[in-house]
Chain A
Amino acid sequence: MEKRVTFDGKLLPYALLLPQLLVTIIFFYWPAIQAVYQSFLIQDAFGLSTQFVWFENYTLLFSKPEYFHSLLTTLVFSSVVAFLSLSISLLLAVQADKHIKFASGYKTLLIWPYAVAPAVAGVLWLFMFQPSLGLVSQAIRTLGFEWNPLLDGNHAMALVVMAATWKQISYNFLFFLAGLQSIPKSVIEASAIDGASPLRRFWTITFPLLSPTTFYLLVVNIVYVFFDTFGIIDATTGGGPAKATETLVYKVFHDGRLGGDLGGSAAQSVILMVMVIGLTAIQFRFVEKKVQY
């Protein structure tokens, strides 16, 4: 028999849940509902009158090529960052797992970037890659490569990709390391005896056994790149040059805050919200079913 703590009154459990519910309602549901409502309104430029227009903001949005450009930018950005951060952190975790003795110092160093605020990370990378003064820019220039993220869209993209990847590696590393350590040592030893080279051992045993972790991280990383990179982009490129690094989240901010198009901006956030809900749903379904062995 399972032992359970039971509450006598009917009120107490609800009272205990209340703070959590309040936080969720005030900081999530309320703004979400507001955003949905807002996305059905069009405001004139001076904010004097508003009009309820149903889906006009959405149709307007989908008629603009900029929106699809931003969507494409986001997809490129997120897949590159997810791929890089996952593969680099997996590589680091495999190395740490081999020499677990020295791992503690190594781990601490790798975890620090995670504690850095996105905007600060952005500024850090901005300084290093600042075209005229940045340390790294100077180094690149001595190699004979003309580096200028302020003018060249690809360079700007590379810069935000690096900053975003760097920040995400710590988190992935921790999960990969934990995943690696939960693989029984004897299974790896059995495959060594079965004649598999270290590389083959990794691809046929370790990597498949890590797949639940990898899948989880993939979704988390995509969500991260979609939303949490706002600070980095704002601090380094501001979405430029020529909107080369304007991701969907940055566009919400740019159109709403700077462009004054509250309705259009709200419509964009609602679309983003739907995307996250979709990703999370996929994650729950798969983590529970498919990816297990």
Chain B
Amino acid sequence: MNNVQLRQVGKVYAGGVEAVRAISIDIPDGKFCVLVGPSGCGKSTLLRMVAGLETISSGEIVIGDRRVNDLDPSERDIAMVFQNYALYPHMSVYDNMAYGLRNRRTPKAEIEERVQEAARILEIGHLLDRKPRALSGGQRQRVAMGRAIVRKPRVFLFDEPLSNLDAKLRIQMRVEIKKLQRALGITSIYVTHDQLEAMTLADILVVMNKGKVEQMGPPLTLYERPATTFVAGFIGAPPMNLVPLPEGGLPGLKLAKVPGSGRLTLGIRPEHFELTAPGTGPHALDIDVTVSAIEAVGSETFLYCAVGGNGPEIIVRVAGKSEIEAGATLRAVAEAKNLHFFDDETGVRIAD
């Protein structure tokens, strides 16, 4: 069993920076866990603590049934793919992949077999004699992956492995990483700040903010029931519309039912609006809007709209192409099940 458990893990750097605060995550054997969050929220720090490249200030990390806090990186039986790939520049692709096996005194024949196998899976068989500097970015990425998989480690760690690739290659590699991880069944932790990568790769998605976990769970759960406005604004592209509701209500916005009391923030995803002519209704939510800008990407169209003509801006998604032009006044409506309410002050979701 190669499950990974983080128990109240914390990290304080030498200068007193508290990069990670009491994080607990449980990753079952073979699952793919993605850490996502804005820059500086402590994702890399947490990953490097699992790898053994940073000391653990508090709490404990358990891989399988071993507490690894005091083990060297080499003793933890993990493999890591770095953002800059960190290939050994003076070694051929073959030697880069064989290095970890040689250090562990694997028999020569087995090294040959495993390297060839990994090269076949990653389609880099023709590059084995080259030095890293003679490879393209995408090929280097594959070699870095190869170096990780030949070792058959207990855990894969990835620190933004795709962020140096162009958009097209990134999507292709994303799919390949997912397939590879499924096929090998190796427990993985993957750091990214790309929410699309996070959504598509994760079995368990962990959204981090300022060194803490905002919410974790299956990606679709986070999408459908974000626990905080931070998660709501982070997951989904474009993100959920968050409209703070002032005391006396917002001109042009009518809600059939408002849960609880106190000041609220209303959340609604761009894809959950429907557009009707002004004056129809009533629905669970009716907003009179004026379209200020239009973004058409072919398969869908995003309308940037002002609530009540000059209120806060919301984004409305329309499938396919749209005949609507800037300046049009419309009514955007939504069903009750697609409305999210958050406490305006704490940003925490209000139970429904």
Contacts and interface: CB of A to CB of B under 8 A. Distances in A.
Interface of A: 184, 186-187, 189-197, 200, 204-205, 208-209, 293
B74 interface: yes
A186 B140 CA distance: 15
A196 B73 CA distance: 10
Contacts of B78: 193
Interface string B249-263: 000000000000000
Contacts, number: 60
Given A194-B100, A195-B104, A189 B90 contact: no
Contact of A190 (B72, B88, B90, B131): B88
B289 interface: no
Contacts of B88: 187, 190-191, 205
B299 interface: no
Contact of B53 (A184, A189, A196, A204): A189
Contact of A194 (B84, B99, B131): B99
B100 A195 contact: yes
A-B pairs with lowest CB-CB distance, top 8: A293-B90, A194-B100, A186-B86, A195-B103, A190-B86, A195-B74, A193-B73, A192-B73
B74 A193 contact: yes
B53 A192 contact: yes
Instruction: Bin the interface of chain B by size.
Output: 20 to 34
Interface string B269-312: 00000000000000000000000000000000000000000000
A200 to B, nearest CB: 7
Given A184-B84, A191-B99, A293-B131, A196 B90 contact: no
Contacts of A196: 74, 99, 103
A193 B78 CA distance: 7
A189 B103 contact: no
Interface string B17-52: 000000000000000000000000000000000011
24 contacts: A184-B84, A184-B86, A186-B82, A186-B86, A187-B87, A187-B88, A189-B82, A190-B87, A193-B51, A193-B52, A193-B53, A193-B74, A193-B78, A194-B100, A194-B103, A194-B147, A194-B151, A195-B100, A195-B104, A196-B99, A197-B74, A200-B103, A205-B88, A209-B90
Contacts of B74: 192-197
Contacts of A197: 74
A293 to B, nearest CB: 3
A24 B100 CA distance: 53
Given A192-B53, A193-B51, A293 B103 contact: no
B111 to A, nearest CB: 13
A156 to B, nearest CB: 42
A205 B90 CA distance: 8
A192 B99 contact: no
Contacts of B72: 192
Interface string B86-105: 11111000000001100110
Given A196-B99, A208-B90, 14 more contacts: A186-B82, A186-B86, A189-B51, A190-B87, A191-B88, A193-B53, A193-B79, A193-B100, A194-B74, A194-B100, A194-B147, A204-B99, A205-B88, A293-B131
Contacts of A193: 51-53, 73-74, 78-80, 100
Nearest to B131: A293
Contact of B89 (A187, A189, A195, A204): A187
Contacts of A191: 88, 99
Q: Which of A187, A194, A195, A196 has the largest number of chain B CB atoms within 10 A?
A: A194
B187 to A, nearest CB: 16
B67 to A, nearest CB: 19
B86 A187 contact: yes
B95 to A, nearest CB: 10
A190 B89 CA distance: 12
Contacts of B103: 194-196, 200
Contacts of A200: 103
Contact of A189 (B73, B87, B99): B73
A189 B86 contact: yes
A196 B104 CA distance: 8
Contacts of B151: 194
Contacts of A187: 86-89
B304 to A, nearest CB: 41
Contacts of B99: 191, 194, 196, 204
Contacts of A192: 52-53, 72-74
Nearest to A208: B90
Q: Which of B74, B84, B131 has the largest number of chain A CB atoms within 10 A?
A: B74
B133 to A, nearest CB: 8
A193 B103 CA distance: 10
Contacts of A204: 99
B89 A293 contact: yes
A253 to B, nearest CB: 44
Interface string B47-91: 000011100000000000000000011100011101010111110
Nearest to B104: A195
